[in-house]
Amino acid sequence: MTFVASVKTKPGLNFLMVVRYLLEKARNVREAIHLLQELPLNTAQNIILADRSGVSHFSKSPLRRPVFPRKAL
């Protein structure tokens, strides 16, 4: 995960809260992606998710439309 410091923020979760939330609520990458699509984020975030089924990348910003995950190797 990367945190992009910005002067433009919106109400939402910071990256530490997102990590904790996903670890508590998601059982796999598919569930984490579903949760991320609905979570309000306060800054732009890039998240790499991995489980036994593979790896995915997810980018989202409160100021732009989300970039939906692409399955990696």
Sketch the domain layout of the chain as residue ranges. 2-64
pLDDT digits (tens, 9 = 90+) for 20-39: 999 999 999 989 989 988 88
- The pTM of the full predicted model, rounded to 2 decimals, is 0.71
Are 17 and 63 contacting, i.e. CB atoms less than 8 angstroms apart? no
Q: Convert the pLDDT of each residue in 40-54 to its tens digit.
A: 888 878 888 899 988
The whole-angstrom separation of Cα 58 and Cα 68 is: 6
